[in-house]
Structure 1
Amino acid sequence: MNKNILSNLFLAISLLAVASCQMAQKENQNDSTVSKDTVVSQNIKPVESGYADINGLEMYYEVFGKGKPLVLLHGSFMNIPMNWAHIIPLLAKDRKVIVAEMQGHGRTKDIAREFSYEGMADDVSGLLKHLKIDSADILGYSMGGGVAFQVAVRHPEQVRRLVVLSGTYTHDGWWPDVEASFATFTADMFKGTPIQEQYERFGNDPAHFPAFVKKVISIDLKPYDWSGDVKNIKAPVFMAIGDADGVRYEHALELFRAQGGGKMGDIHGLPKSRLAIIPGTTHIGLIQRTDWLIPMITDFLDSKLNSAPPTF
């Protein structure tokens, strides 16, 4: 892949990380009683945080707000503040927001276990049990979207509704050049970025950073296809991608059609699932589109499932 393209991608990741972390750090400076590694934004503080012993992991998590539970699952190489600092306050106004750091990410230390979407999905299931939550809405971004799909496939009884932002359910759900780029990822590309800085600040051995990068990207170097299982998910699904995303339009449309889309709602009624293609938006930029995306997410989570066509 063109080196300039990769450079632009990692610049975008770095800018996203900087923007999210600056929001959290600014608020942290105003409250000396809160750890600098805890998300604090717009005066929202976790009501609970800690580590849960799950499947051999000491899994770090934070809980904000109260109401119906919503679990946020971050993207590759990221952590809670990088991915969610600017989003948590918007969603925790009237619901319980649970954020966790996946295997090897943030404060959840790696273990001698292969990285897999299935394994991380089982970890999320275990966290819900640890928190004594029978079912929750699950929202995943990028890698977290793949984990979210697998939570719904492997633990359907724990999923009320599913939101996937720029995630895929087959390895070729990405544009071909994007999929080809995964094999070129190296630790050197992250040198000097907030991703490397936070990896070290959270107590990880800097010498292990190359192994961390290699292990995380390994899940996207192996072919996978969950089409059959994902298309049969019973929970309502809202999938959103950018029109300049790394995810193919056809990939998102294929799932939407399988979930009841592709019909005129005025005649047949609305499907329980939804699809959004956000204009002027990249893969990295999607979670910065909070002015558009958050109202769509909350409307989906709060909507009543009425598929009947409108009456006049």
Structure 2
Amino acid sequence: MHKHLLSRIALVLAIALGVSCQQQAPRQKDKGTVTTDTAAKASLKPGESGYAEVNGLKMYYEVYGQGKPLVLIHGSFMTIPLNWSHIIPLLAPHRKVIVAEMQAHGRTRDTDRPMSYEGMADDVSGLLQHLKIDSADILGYSMGGGVAFQFAIRHPGQLRRLIILSGTYAHNGWWPDVEASFGAMNADMLKGTPIEQQYDSLGNDPARFPDFIKKVMSIDLQPYDWTAAVKQIKAPLFMVIGDADGVRYEHAIELFKAKGGGKMGDLHGMPQSRLAILPGTTHIGMMLHNNWLIPMIEDFLDSDLSTKPPMF
């Protein structure tokens, strides 16, 4: 991919993040209706926050609300404020929302440990043990989707339901030009963006920013393919991509079929797992469609997921 196209992606990312950080925090008045409430954002504070000692890391985390636990796993270069500030107020009134910053991200300082999806999945498992939570719903976005897939593979006993937003379970799940772009991504393309500003503001060494970008990108520069293991996941799964995402449609559909999709529900019953392709939605834009995402996420998490055909 040409460098000017990558720079354009970085610019779009910066704009999208700026918009998401400035959004008024939405709240849900009626099921399926999302409105905004500035006071909700201003007053929302974590009921618990701190650091969990897991696998050689001091992982920063926050907990909001009460109810069934839901863990949100952010995307590459993200932090809790960048990825979830406009999402937490929507979900916290109905469930216990647990957010954490992965290795090297935000307030979770890096170590000499190589970065991997498997390692970050183990960190999430350790965080749940730290919080004395037996099992939880797991939602991962982009890089966090890969972490969530690995969590489901490696720690199935801690998983209730799985939600993947714009994530892949194999390196060729990305469109070829997207995958080819990973090796060219560098810190200069993100200079002056909210990503760099947040990195600096949370006490990280500004001189290490290029190393941070390089290390995070390293996990996608080696081929990976978890197809066989992912198809064996027992927990109900909800996979969401955009129609202009970086994820191939066939990649999502293949998994949905393996999880019981690809049949007429009126005749054969509904699969426990679900698939959504959002219209007019890019990879970055996925996190800007709260009015669509939140009702679908809550319906999936709260549904009894009956597989019986409907009665006529």
Q: TM-score, normalised by structure 2?
A: 0.93
Count of aligned positions: 298
Counterpart for residue 97 of structure 1: 97
SS in 2 for 1:41: helix
SS in 2 for 1:112: coil
Counterpart for residue 262 of structure 1: 262
How far apart in 1 are the matches of 2:305 and 2:197?
Answer: 44
How far apart in 1 are the matches of 2:283 and 2:208?
Answer: 27
Counterpart for residue 31 of structure 1: none
1:36-185 to 2 correspondences below 5 Å: 41=41, 43-185=43-185
How far apart in 2 are the matches of 1:223 and 1:131?
Answer: 34
How far apart in 2 are the matches of 1:85 and 1:23?
Answer: 9
Q: Percent of aligned positions with the same letter in both sequences?
A: 70
Alignment partner of 1:310 is 2:310: yes
1:162-311 to 2 correspondences below 5 Å: 162-311=162-311
How far apart in 1 are the matches of 2:292 and 2:21?
Answer: 21
1:77 to partner: Cα distance: 0.4
Q: Which has the higher contact order (CA 8 A, sep 6+)?
A: 2
1:44-79 superposed Cα distances (whole Å, 9 cap, x missing partner): 211000111111101000000100000000000010
Structure 1 pair 24–213 and aligned structure 2 pair: CA distance change class (3 A): farther
2:20–2:288 CA contact under 8 A, matched in 1: no
What amino acid sits opposite 2:226 in the alignment?
Answer: W
Aligned structure 1 segments of 4 or more residues deviating by more than 2 angstroms: 2-5, 19-25
SS in 2 for 1:238: strand
Q: TM-score, normalised by structure 1?
A: 0.93
How far apart in 1 are the matches of 2:221 and 2:109?
Answer: 22
What amino acid sits opposite 2:93 in the alignment?
Answer: K
Structure 1 pair 6–132 and aligned structure 2 pair: CA distance change class (3 A): same
- Give ranges in structure 1 of 5+ residues lacking alignment: 26-39
1:42–1:89 CA contact under 8 A, matched in 2: no
1:207 to partner: Cα distance: 1.2
1:24 to partner: Cα distance: 8.0
Counterpart for residue 36 of structure 2: none
How far apart in 1 are the matches of 2:302 and 2:152?
Answer: 19
How far apart in 2 are the matches of 1:208 and 1:133?
Answer: 35
1:24–1:85 CA contact under 8 A, matched in 2: no
1:42 to partner: Cα distance: 5.2
1:116-169 superposed Cα distances (whole Å, 9 cap, x missing partner): 000000000000000000000000000000000000000000010000000000
1:19 to partner: Cα distance: 2.3
1:76-107 superposed Cα distances (whole Å, 9 cap, x missing partner): 00100000000001111110000000000000
How far apart in 2 are the matches of 1:42 and 1:260?
Answer: 43
What amino acid sits opposite 1:152 in the alignment?
Answer: A
Structure 1 pair 110–257 and aligned structure 2 pair: CA distance change class (3 A): same
SS in 2 for 1:234: coil
- Give ranges in structure 2 of 5+ residues lacking alignment: 26-39
